[in-house]
Structure formats: C-alpha cells, structure tokens
Amino acid sequence: MISLSIRTSLYPLCFCGFLFLCACRHDMMNEPRAKTFSQSEFFKDGASARPLPANVVPRGEAQVNDAFHIGMTNGVYVTQLPMQLTPKLLARGRERFEAICAECHGRTGDGNGMVVQRGFPVPPSYHLDRMRNAPLGHFFDVITNGYGAMFPYAAQVEPQDRWAIAAYIRALQLSQHANPNDLPPDVRNKLEAESK
C-alpha cells in the first residue's frame, strides 16, 4: 500500500518533468526568417543577403557632385575641401584616420604603421614634398580607388569621412612643417619658454 501511494505521487511529478521538456523547443528563438548574413536554402548561392542589382544607387548617394564624390572637377583634382573646414570635421578625420589608415600610414603619416612593420610595402610618407604638393582631391581619390598595394576603401569609408581624412592628412603635414611664427603669441611664448 505504501509503495502504491509513492507511485501515485510520482505520476504528477513525472508529468511536471515532462512539461519542463516541452519548453525545450527553439521555434521562437530561431524563426524562419533571414537574419543578417544568415544562410539560406531558398537562394541558389546559399546566402540570404542578396547582391545589388547592376547600376542601383542607394537613396541619397547618387554621385551628382563631382567635386564631392570623385574629388575632381572636369577631370582635374580639386584643391579645396568641397565643404566647410571645421574643428569637428578635423576631429572626425583624426578619429577615422587612426581607425582605418594608421595601421599602415602610422599615426603621424610617416608610413611606418604596424602592418608595414609586419612586412607590408612601405607607403610614401605624407611629409614628402610631392605629397605635400599633391592636390587635396588626390587623397580623396586614393582612399576611394586605392593606389599601388593599397586596396580601395570606398566600401569602408563614406565620402564625407574621406574628405575629413583628407583634411586631417593636411593637418598632419602641417604638423611636421609648422612655422613657430604662425602660432598664437601665448602658445609661442610657452613653447619658447619650454625650449630654453
């Protein structure tokens, strides 16, 4: 009799355990929809991400402004920024430069970044005369289309950021050829005091 009562009390317990297992299905965790870069059995190439049809232009990214989008006007590199130069733009340029470019070009632009130290071909220093004399549009063009061993970075860096980087490269160039007389008097006095 005792063993019978144990058995009857075990049934609800087993049933509860069974209910526990019911929650082990993952239907709602993995819904039949495509997540970013997930595999797909529907498309022949096995990817849920679809390639862009030929000649489509993302909304708002039509290349209508040559100076802004290709860094040239009438086939000649622009020499001026196609937007206003602001401290914010330069700061953005510095941030992007140090994230994307400094790996090879080095933080000061001397072409001795970490990847170069690992054996990548040495890029020219920004502080060479020919680089200092290069028109601004040239830097934009190189970021967009690559140059020599450098691959195009158009997919990684948006046009606005490419200009910010180009502007920051100019600032780097200036930093290595700065004239003390161009400094504000208080900064110059401080510098002179420190160098004595």
Partner 1 sequence: MAQIFSRNANVYARVTTFGIVVLICGVGWATNEVFWSPYTTYVDVPLTQPVPFSHKHHVAEDGIDCRYCHTSVEKSRFAGMPTSETCMHCHSQIFTDVPLLAPVRESLATNAPLKWNRVHDLPDYVYFDHSIHVAKGIGCSTCHGRVDQMPITWRVNTLYMKWCLDCHRHPQKFVRPPDKVFAMTWQPSQDRQLEPTQLVRQYHIDTSGRLTNCSTCHR
The strand pairing partners of 150, in sequence order, are 147
Binder among 30, 65, 79, 175 for partner 1 (CB under 8 A): 30
Report the distance separating Cα 104 and Cα 116, nearest Å: 5
Closest separation between CB of residue 4 and partner 1, Å?
A: 12
48 near partner 1, rule: CB under 8 A: no
CA distance 71 to 141: 6
Amino acid at 49: A
23 binds partner 1 (CB under 8 A): no
Q: What is the spatial distance between Cα 193 and Cα 136, in angstroms, rounded to a whole number?
A: 36
> Site map for partner 1, 130-169, x if CB under 8 A?
-------------------xxx---xx-------------
For the segment 97-136, give every residue that binds partner 1 (CB under 8 A). 98-100, 102-103, 114-115, 118-121
CB of 165 vs partner 1, minimal distance in Å: 13
- Closer by beta carbon to partner 1, 76 or else 91: 91
List, in order, residues 6 or more apart from 92 with CB less than 8 Å away. Answer: 161, 164
Residues near 69 by Cβ (< 8 Å), separated by ≥ 6?
A: 63, 159
Considering the complex, state which of residue 141 and residue 161 has its C-beta at the smaller distance from partner 1.
161
